[in-house]
Amino acid sequence: MDEAKREEIIKQYQNRDRVVRILSNDHKFRAVALKNTDSARNAQKRHNTDWIGSFLLARTMSAAAMMANFLKGEERIIVELKGKGPVSSVYGEAMSIGENRGFVSYSPDISDKPIENIGEALGAGVINVTRILYDRPEPVQSILPLQKGDVATDLAYYYQMSEQIPSAVILDVDFNEDGIISHSGGLIVQALPGTTQEELEEVYSHLVGIDSLVRYFDDDKNPRDILEEILPFEFEVVRSSQLDFLCRCSKDSFISRLKTLSVDEIKDMQEKNDNELVCRYCNEHYYLEPGDFDTLIEEMQATRN
């Protein structure tokens, strides 16, 4: 391999989506920083979302990906914001191992009135955080009223109210001239038990001055570099994980879900050639072939007789 090619591959690897978690040397703060430009852009492309939908989707996926980094293995976080505005819901889901997916739903009676501030997109509503954890038989759910509907403020509010963890949250998305996501990233800094109000405020005062997080990505900086530049304390990296837009859906999983319907309903679908199955999480389209219907009906009749 020639040197230029080698350098290109190394650069691609260094620039890929990543979540980095740190712990301050004095154990008073933990933080997680994220770059998820490719995942957010992938979601925008798959769902063909407009500007405001892409903006909220990227931020919600960022929130989920960072929160999931505090979990283990296949433990999962779902962050869903629901409102009465033109965007009726935005959904972000992430697994601790680095899988991320999401989608946006719009209100059917969408108005042409331009949105003047981000809070109007969702309007009044709720943030719903669901954690699926190994040691809990049921998902752990928390529902709180939306504060600003900008995701970042709502997430900080969630951490304060539901987990009693003082948190500073920055989420940042940028677009190119064609309206395509050019950068997406985020940062959460959390105070651990024993931190004084003074220490907390000192760290917060460093963060309020940050007008843009993603500008660091312009200089090929990764989440670790950003943490080193921004945080006013020494730390060690606890975890650095790659992140991808990934949905575990498959044609087979859709077909097995059809088995909850009746044989007559399946026959009806077959007659109407109602053969398109769409995943709402990743917008993948699957099509049932005539043979798929036959096999499905045969299998259903065999198990029901």
Q: How far is the CB of 254 from Zn ion (least distance, A)?
A: 9
| Amino acid code (one letter) for 71 | L
Residue among 47 and 82 whose Cβ is closer to Zn ion? 47
Q: CA–CA separation, 231 vs 184, rounded Å? A: 19
DSSP bridge pairs for 33: 20, 187
Q: How far is the CB of 156 from Zn ion (least distance, A)?
A: 30
Q: Which of 20, 247, 266, 288 binds Zn ion (CB under 5 A)?
A: 247
Residue among 159 and 245 whose Cβ is closer to Zn ion? 245
User: With left for phi above 0 and alpha for psi between -120 and 50, is residue 119 left, alpha or beta?
Assistant: alpha
Torsions phi, psi of 231, nearest 5? -75, 135
Residue among 249 and 263 whose Cβ is closer to Zn ion? 249
Residue 95 makes contact with Zn ion by CB under 5 A: no
Say how many residues touch Zn ion, by CB under 5 A. 6
Torsions phi, psi of 248, nearest 5? -90, 15
Nearest to 229 by CA among 243, 217, 238, 240: 217
Q: CA–CA separation, 40 vs 56, rounded Å? A: 10
Q: How far is the CB of 103 from Zn ion (least distance, A)?
A: 9
Q: How far is the CB of 235 from Zn ion (least distance, A)?
A: 36
End-to-end CA distance of the chain: 62
Q: How far is the CB of 57 from Zn ion (least distance, A)?
A: 15
Q: Which of 23, 249, 263, 300 binds Zn ion (CB under 5 A)?
A: 249
| Amino acid code (one letter) for 290 | P
| Binding mask of the shown chain, residues 266 to 305, with x at each position contacting Zn ion by CB under 5 A | -------------x-xx-x---------------------
Q: CA–CA separation, 152 vs 172, rounded Å? A: 9
Residue among 284 and 292 whose Cβ is closer to Zn ion? 284
Q: Which chain residues interact with Zn ion by CB under 5 A?
A: 247, 249, 279, 281-282, 284
